[in-house]
Structure 1
Amino acid sequence: MSSSNFSIPRRGFLALGASWGLAGCGGGGDAGGTDPLPAAPAIQGFDTVAGSPLVGERLRLRPLFSGGAGRIEPEIGAVVSGVEVQTPVLDGPRCYTLVVEAAGRPTARRELLLPVRYRERYQALALPFALQYHAAVLAADGGVLVIGGSRGEPSLSNAIDRFDPASGRFERLGQMRTGRALHSATRLASGQILVLGGLISLEIGGVAELIDERSGAVLDAGRPRQPRARHAALALADGRVLVAGGLGRDTLELWDPQQRQFRLLAARMRHVREFPSLTQLADGRVLIVGGYHDGPVNVTAELFDPAAESLAAVATALDERRQLHEAHRMADGSVLILGGELIAPEGIRPLASVLRYEPLAGTLAGVQGLEQARTLVRSVRTAGDEIRLFGGQTEADAVAASACLYRPGQGATALPAMPVPRAWHSVTRLADGRILILGGDDAAGAPVAGGLLFD
């Protein structure tokens, strides 16, 4: 570098040093010589670079700012002005905030809302087996374990398969001790899955099984105190698993993960509940709704308190024996109960009604319903408190291909229909927001071959 090139910044530096020294000493010139403050933090731009925000994809963002250090919240962190950054995979709407800060100056902020949407399309998956009456569980690594079911073979399947969302492929991970159908599969915080009840192909004394979601290894998990089918199971906040109802059952059991043992509780539900729903509330209590029974008195819903191991009826004017419905806890803590069926003298009657449980008031009441009556429907809650429902049985179709989107306060609108109808299928929301649809009954009651990814 030449001395002439170097001299300008050096002279500037020396001049600045002199002024700092004078200022530090409390003298050295009049007020007109005071250096101006650096420019305050300012944001000139904050937007996406290209493309539309879609579920399962990433977007590039470009921040433009001056006067300080910048960062994007949440998920991204420190950024440089004019340098593009990439979002994580988007599973739903996002609101990012660009923050620019400098010591002693006002902070500049700008928000960027990404209304991430679904394409509303289905992509076919090459499922290597037909499938119905199985369980599907989302694992911590983003894969989905497909457990048991009827796979078009002479006996029920004991297979444990893993779906890899990145490759779209299925691989065998392990085997249970017996084939199972219509069983429950409950994921624990440890990364294990408790499988119990349902129909079994081998008599193994009612033993529950514990699957390691990483290796597929299977361990005995103890024996439920009573055989269970058409029951429900839920992992509690303290790590125990609540097992409720089932065919001819008004009882509750708790499974202890430390002892790997089941314990029958003294508290009993008001009556038998077949195919009820269990939903954990924000305070740890469990809302038990519906379940078929043929007793003379009906209690639509009950609350289970895990700390006291007690039950209390929910206040409601409703008197219905709803079963095979869907239940979701919403962002505000309320619970929606959607669809299902009643067993009427004339036969099965699918329901279009939706119920809402309000924890603060302790009440259960009807709200705006579905676009049509649906039982055996399967659904997921997606970002933005939307519920997407697929297939099942309707009043018009013994097995339905139709689907709908339900928004609280707005009701239901139709989604594109699935390529083939399904009931008794599984629907799993993946970590990237896409939805995995597997198996089910076809119109003839046979297991459906092939799976779908909805995005």
Structure 2
Amino acid sequence: MSARSVRSTLLAALLALSAGCGEKEVTPSLDLISASCAGTPPLEGVTHLRFRVSGPGLDTPRERVSTVRWTPADVPAIPPGSARVLEVRAYAGAPDQGGQLRSLGRTAPFDVAQGQAASARVFLRRLGEFAPVNQAASPDTCAVPGETRAGHTATLLADGRVLFAGGYAPGRDGTRPVSGTTEVFDPVAGTFSPGPDVGARAFHTASPLPDGKVLLVGGAETLDQVSLQRTARVVDVAEGVASTLEPKVARYQHAAAVDVDGHVLLVGGRAADGSGAFTLEGFDAASGRFFNGMGELHRVDATLTVLEDGHTILVAGGSDALRLEAEVLSAGFDGDTFGWLLPVPPRLRVPRVGASVAMLGRAEDGPRPLLMGGFDGVDPLNGARAVGASEVLESPIRVSDGPALLPRSNACAVSLQDGRVVVVGGRGADSGIARATAWAELIIPAKDAQPSVLGLSLLPQPRVWHTCTALADGSVLVVGGVDDSTGEPRAPIEALVVMPPPRD
């Protein structure tokens, strides 16, 4: 009998005993995935495990420590309630005797009903290391996306899955065929599966809507000789279908943001000839229609974000294709269209194009958008340098200095549930040539103090035009991109996952 079968048999007996005694708490059935398909095995050098249960209503986490040869009895019982999290920490040495934390895994928050059995699956990840994603059914098998993608989008769905759409495949011969397919990643199973076709598009935008669907707008239909995708698609992953709409303006390399009510603002971008597409446009999820925006805004390579209130959209950075724009504009939906909110907006300390943005700070501390990186000029071939300074977009009327970061543009930045920000890859400028980087940083907020920055392990291969997604277990999924650091484009196919060190 296998070790897993023995654990399952013991657990069934424990659950039966608990039910007979009228216990209210539930001993979960834990499927701990402790193998890996590549990289450092999560249990290498590990001697002890700490099991921890946390969630609303629990004043202190429920914890138990065992050796690495754990049994179901080592897992704490879980009180009924919502948003329970079961976490497993792996140590070299006993944790209460100075043991070093090596690996970490946790569930997504889940609900436990009184008297009902609970099951949980945890992928144990080596702390801070980028490693290929593995499959739950066969942990020594890597989960590989069906296609190579760069310039694609990744959208986190309400159920924890991730929708990947479009993008192009960088060829060694210089060709860049554009994809019209989608894939869905399931973090519980560790698998990629095909989704509905959405028409060939790269450098488009993807906006999650309140009903769980995803709006894809624009993009380039071909890149070797640019032609534009004139359609938009509303993707319903649950039904496996995508409906077709037509926006008023065809564009690619634009920016989009969606407010809490499902109003999407589309800003900037480029036409097929490379000129700016300056007409503003909106989309209303309730009616399923595009509407005219606020005329024109002469910005390309701008960055959009939504403030904590869910209604105020900020437009930061960008250029009019000739010079940088420093004003941070704020907009809100007024019942018919979007309107500008302030006659005299604040200004960035360092104007930039191609910046990244993510919310920094815990929910209880008031998270704020952190603007990171970019180039300090329109063209890196004409002297523009990568920016290392970051700026906090405090409110529609105030901008403040953020921490110093590694200088890069077009990095992938994502907010973790605990308020920290992970920044991965991007483009640095070396001798006037912008090329992909392998840098990764973890930004840690501090209440009433300047955030701190921790360097993470380098990516196994530099990437730009990739995506990174914060999964519900606290890890970050990195997919696609292109590595042009050697002058010859290479396309990494493997999907990577990194588990940042915990805050405590």
- With structure 2 as the length reference, what TM-score do the two structures score? 0.65
Aligned length: 362
Tell me, yes or no, if the aligned pair for 2:148 and 2:491 is still in contact at 8 Å.
Answer: yes
Name which of 140, 143, 155 aligns with 2:161.
143
Q: Structure 1 residues 225 and 157, CA, compared in 2 at 3 Å: closer, same or farther?
A: same
Residue 262 (structure 1) aligns with: 290
User: Structure 1 residues 51 and 423, CA, compared in 2 at 3 Å: closer, same or farther?
Assistant: farther
TM-superposed deviation, 1:351 = 0.7
Bigger mean CA deviation after superposition, 229-238 or 293-302? 293-302
User: How big is the shift at 1:124?
Assistant: 1.0
Match runs of 1:165-176 below 5 Å: 165-176=187-198
Deviation (angstroms), 1:334: 2.3
State how far apart, in whole Å, the 1-side matches of 2:220 and 2:284 are: 23
Name whichever of 423-432 and 405-414 sits farther off: 405-414
SS at structure 1 position matched to 2:301: coil
Cα distance change of structure 1 residues 278 and 51 upon mapping to structure 2, 3 Å threshold? farther
2:146 to 125, 128, 133: 128
- 1:188-215 per-position Cα deviation (integer Å, ceiling 9, x unaligned): 1212111111101497871211111223
The answer to whether structure 1 residue 211 and structure 2 residue 235 are counterparts is yes
1:442 equivalenced with 2:477 (yes/no)? no
- Residue 12 of structure 1 is matched in structure 2 by none
Calculate percent identity across the aligned residue pairs.
24
Query: Which whole-Å deviations, capped at 9, do the CAs of 1:357-414 have from their partners, x for residues lacking one?
Result: 222x8211222221x2121211211133211111112245821112111123233221
Determine helix, strand or coil for the equivalent of 1:49: strand
How far off its partner does 1:328 sit?
2.0
Instruction: Measure, in 1, the Cα distance between the counterparts of 2:81 and 2:492.
Output: 44
Distance 2:357 2:344 in 1: 16
Q: Do the aligned residues in 2 keep the contact of 1:184 with 1:196 (CA within 8 Å)?
A: yes
Give yes or no for contact 1:186–1:235 (8 Å, CA) kept in 2: yes
Q: Corresponding residue for 2:55?
A: none
**Consecutive unaligned residues in structure 1, runs of 5 or more:** 1-42, 53-58, 64-70, 78-87, 93-115
Judging changes above 3 Å, is the alpha-carbon distance between structure 1 residues 228 and 320 closer, same or farther for their aligned structure 2 residues? farther
Residue 276 (1) aligns with residue 306 (2): no
AA in 2 matched with 1:369 = A
CA contact (8 A) 1:299 1:313 kept: no
Is 1:369 matched with 2:369? no
Name the aligned partner's letter for residue 439 of structure 2.
Answer: S
Offset at residue 130 of structure 1 (A): 2.0
Q: Is the 1:401–1:419 Cα contact (8 Å) retained in structure 2? A: yes
The superposition leaves residues 1-22 of structure 1 with CA deviations (integer Å, 9 ceiling, x where unpaired) of xxxxxxxxxxxxxxxxxxxxxx
Report 1:251-330 matches (<5 A). Answer: 251-269=279-297, 271-282=298-309, 284-294=311-321, 298-307=325-334, 309-311=338-340, 312=342, 315-316=345-346, 318=348, 320-330=350-360
- The residue matched to 1:348 in structure 2 has which SS? coil
Pair 1:387–1:297, CA change in 2 (3 A): closer
Could you list the per-position Cα deviations for residues 113-149 of structure 1 after superposition, in whole angstroms to 9, with x for gaps in the alignment? xxx9981122214233322111111122221111111
SS of the aligned residue for 1:349 comes to coil
> CA shift at 1:322, angstroms?
1.4
Seen in structure 2, the aligned counterparts of structure 1 residues 189 and 46 have a Cα distance that, compared at 3 Å, is closer
CA distance in 2, matches of 1:236, 1:46: 35
Q: SS of the residue aligned with 2:145?
A: strand
Is the contact made by 1:337 and 1:356 (CA closer than 8 Å) also made in structure 2?
A: yes
Q: Which has the larger radius of gyration?
A: 1
Counterpart of 1:224 in structure 2 is 247
Measured in 1, the distance between the counterparts of 2:343 and 2:386 equals: 25
1:419 partnered with 2:466 = no
Structure 1 residues 321 and 228 mapped into 2: Cα distance closer, same or farther (>3 Å)?
farther
**CA shift in 2, pair 1:338/1:314, >3 Å:** farther
What does residue 160 of structure 1 align with? 182
State the secondary structure of the residue aligned to 2:393: strand
